[in-house]
Structure 1
Amino acid sequence: MDVLVAGSHGGVGQHVTELLSESEHTAHAMVREESQVSEMEEKFGVDVVVADLTEEVSHAVEGCDAVIFAAGSSGEDVEGVDRDGAIRLIDAAEQEGTDRFVMLSSINADRPAESPEELRPYLEAKLAADEHLQESDLTYTIARPGALTDEPATGKIEAARRVERGEITRADVARTLVTALDAETTHGKTFELIEGDEPIESALDRL
């Protein structure tokens, strides 16, 4: 598949782009700044497209079979990027005929009131984007990881509709998103994930 990676320059996105570049899929790295193009081309040897989630993005999904949304505002513009930007890309994918959409969300996105007050605007934005994707005609998967770390990948996770709060490496989240692309058991599924004892493939097979 030709796969657009939104947020390809970010912590999870770079791992996703690297994994796709080593797979049978073809990665198209979406970046916000022209200055990031040569860096991504040289680092991963992939096609790079410049698109800003706060503006028109339809050109970014042209010719793509799937989207992995790994973008985030880091709290700077939760409504513009995490909510409206995601919704904008979902709509563009539908219009382009891009069927598959894998969304990186967040644990507790569906229950912001249970989280610390400072996190609620972000979680509310993620929930709005998740619900828009769930209501779309796209074949979606929504992954909601716990707190992200930069530790090395383990290749093992715990994944379920609900899990206890915990941590997970950015590298393992990326592996989960890429594995989910081809895992039919994740179609139409929304799940939480943290570090665990089960290989990613089998954890997703049991969803």
Structure 2
Amino acid sequence: MAMDRSSREFTMKGRKKHHVLSCCLLIAVLIILGILALVLYILYRPLPPRVLTSPVELGVEDFSLLPPSLTLTASVHVEVVNPSRSPFRYGETVTAVTYHGEPVGTTVVPAGGVGGRTTTWVTPLTEVDGVKVAANPHFAGDALSGTLPFVVMVRLDGKALVLRAFEVSATVEIVCYVQLYVFREDSSSRCVATVRAGPQRKYY
């Protein structure tokens, strides 16, 4: 009886020791995986993009006061820098070109992306309806003064994904205040860029 009891106690101690070793091994594996995930996240964590320059050019192809007539060409260029190793991808967006607060055109950014740690020029398609501009009640006064004010807005809505588990969504908004000099057939612009970013957990 004593031998059987000692044998059972030895077996139970062996099982407890085996369970403890298994738990320790599992904890060690989880810690190692956690450290690797943290290192990879630090190396490849997505960061919001930066906008360096965004010149806007408006050109006059046809201009007349009587009858009111205006034909314009528009060109917008946005230089986007992606500082992180994760690519930043964005979808198509459409924003308005306004003249004295009234929409007179559109700026379309086609879907695209910026590779990790690269700089890319984004060229939206901008169209301005000269007929709507000429029909605006402010057109005659602005045309006589030689300066027509426009506001051109460009927006990039995108996200960067890392480790297939975390993503950072970012919206880049560029608002350009453009002065068109109709008699000089030239323009100048002042642009203000803002970036809004917010990390969120993505579940699969």
TM-score, structure 1 length as denominator? 0.20
Higher helix share: 1
TM-score, structure 2 length as denominator? 0.21
Higher strand share: 2
Which structure has the larger Rg over C-alpha atoms? 2
